[in-house]
Amino acid sequence: MEYAIEMIGITKTFPGVVANDNVTLKVAEQEVHALLGENGAGKSTLMSILFGAYNADSGTTRIHGKPVNIKDPNVATDLGIGMVHQHFKLVHNYSVTENIVLGMEPKTKLGLLNIGKAEKRVAELSKRYGLHVDPQALVEDITVSAQQRVEILKTLYRNANIIIFDEPTAVLTPQEIDELMEIIRRLRAEGKTIVLITHKLKEIKAVADRCTVLRRGKYIGTVDVETVSEQHLAEMMVGRAVQFEIEKNPPRIGEVVLSIKDLFVADHLGHMKVKDFSIEVHKGEIVGIAGIDGNGQTELLNGISGLSAVASGTIMLNGNDITHTTIRKRIELGLGHIPEDRQKHGLISDFTISENCVLKNYYKAPYSNKYGLLDEAKMIADADILIEEFDIRAGQGSQTTAGSLSGGNQQKTIVAREIHLSPHVLLVAQPTRGLDVGAIEYIRKRIIAERDKGRAILLISFELDEIMNLCDRIATISKGSIVGIFNQGEVTEREIGMMMAGSKKDGENP
Partner 1 sequence: MNTLFNMIPSVLMIVSPILITAVGGMICEKSGVVNIALEGLMGVGACAAASAHVLMEGAGLGTPSIWISLAIGASIGAIFSLIHAVAAINLNADQTISGTGINLLADGATIFVAQILFNADRTREFRMGMQTDALGIYPTAYIALTVVLLAWFILYKLPFGMHLRACGEHPHAADSVGINVKRIRYIAVLTSGLLAGLAGGCIVLTQTIQYTSNTINGRGFIALAAVSFGRWRPVGVTFAAFLFGTAQAFAIIANNFPALRVLPSEVFNMLPYIITLIALVAFSGKNYAPRANGKPYIKGAS
Partner 2 sequence: MKSVEKHESLTNRLLSSDGAVSVLVVLLGFLVGTILVAIVGKNPLNMYKAIFQSLSGYNIDNGKMNIRYIGETLNYAVPFILCGLSMAFAARAGLFNIGGEGQYIMGLTVAQVIGLLGPQVSGLHWILAILGAMIVGAFWGGIVGILKAKYEVSEVVSTIMLNYVALYLSRIICLQLPGATTYKTANFPETALLNNSLFQKLTNNSMLNNGFFLMIIALVVYWFIMEKTNLGFGLRATGFNKEAARCSGIPVVKSIAISMAIAGTFAGLAGGIVALGSFRYGRILSGMDNYGFNGIAVALVGNNTAFGTMLAGFLFGMLKNAQALMQGKQIPKEITFIIQGLIVVFIALRSAIAIYLAWRNKRQLQREVLTK
Binding site for partner 2 (CB under 8 A): 11, 13-18, 21, 57-58, 305, 307, 326-328, 330-331, 337, 339, 344-351, 355, 359-360, 362-363, 367-368, 372-374
Sign of CA dihedral 86, 87, 91, 94: positive
How far out from the chain centre does Cα 179 lie?
Answer: 20
Residue whose CB is less far from partner 2, 145 or 368: 368
Residue whose CB is less far from partner 2, 18 or 206: 18
Q: Which amino acid is at 410?
A: Q
- Least separation in angstroms between CB 305 and partner 1: 23
The DSSP call for residue 15 is T
- Least separation in angstroms between CB 346 and partner 2: 6
**Strands 456-461, 425-429: pairing kind:** parallel
Assign residue 334 a region: left if phi > 0, alpha if psi is -120 to 50, beta otherwise? left
- Least separation in angstroms between CB 418 and partner 2: 11
Among partner 1, partner 2, none, the one that 384 touches (CB under a kind-dependent 5 to 8 A) is: none
- Least separation in angstroms between CB 17 and partner 2: 8
Long-range Cβ pairs for the range 235-244 (8 Å, 24+): 236/36, 237/36, 237/37, 237/38, 237/41, 237/199, 237/213, 237/437, 238/38, 238/437, 239/215, 242/437, 243/441
CA distance 145 to 501: 12
Residue whose CB is less far from partner 2, 414 or 499: 414
CB 43 within 8 A of CB 37: yes
Among partner 2, partner 1, none, the one that 331 touches (CB under a kind-dependent 5 to 8 A) is: partner 2
Residue whose CB is less far from partner 2, 270 or 507: 270
Residue whose CB is less far from partner 1, 103 or 438: 103
- Least separation in angstroms between CB 292 and partner 2: 24
- Least separation in angstroms between CB 112 and partner 1: 5
- Least separation in angstroms between CB 309 and partner 1: 17
Instruction: Tell me whether residue 107 is exposed, middle or buried, using C-beta atoms within 10 angstroms of its C-beta: 0 to 12, 13 to 18, 19 or more.
Output: exposed
Q: Rg (Cα) of the chain, in Å, rounded? A: 25
CA distance 294 to 39: 23
Residue whose CB is less far from partner 1, 341 or 388: 341
Residue whose CB is less far from partner 1, 103 or 254: 103
Q: Which amino acid is at 432?
A: T
CA distance 337 to 419: 10
DSSP string, 342-364: IIIII--TTSBHHHHHTTTTTTS
Among partner 2, partner 1, none, the one that 94 touches (CB under a kind-dependent 5 to 8 A) is: partner 1
Among partner 1, partner 2, none, the one that 347 touches (CB under a kind-dependent 5 to 8 A) is: partner 2
Residue whose CB is less far from partner 2, 53 or 327: 327
Among partner 1, partner 2, none, the one that 89 touches (CB under a kind-dependent 5 to 8 A) is: partner 1
Among partner 1, partner 2, none, the one that 310 touches (CB under a kind-dependent 5 to 8 A) is: none
Among partner 2, partner 1, none, the one that 154 touches (CB under a kind-dependent 5 to 8 A) is: partner 1
Among partner 2, partner 1, none, the one that 321 touches (CB under a kind-dependent 5 to 8 A) is: none
CB 342 within 8 A of CB 414: yes
CA distance 378 to 368: 10
CB 117 within 8 A of CB 106: yes
* Residues contacting residue 498 through CB under 8 Å, at least 6 positions apart: 175, 505, 507
Among partner 1, partner 2, none, the one that 375 touches (CB under a kind-dependent 5 to 8 A) is: none
- Least separation in angstroms between CB 379 and partner 2: 10
Among partner 2, partner 1, none, the one that 83 touches (CB under a kind-dependent 5 to 8 A) is: partner 1
Positions that interact with partner 1 (CB under 8 A): 48, 53-54, 72-74, 77, 83, 85, 87, 89-94, 98-99, 102-105, 107, 111-113, 154, 269
- Least separation in angstroms between CB 87 and partner 1: 6
Residue whose CB is less far from partner 2, 102 or 307: 307
CB 314 within 8 A of CB 261: yes
Residue whose CB is less far from partner 1, 20 or 488: 20
- Least separation in angstroms between CB 30 and partner 1: 25
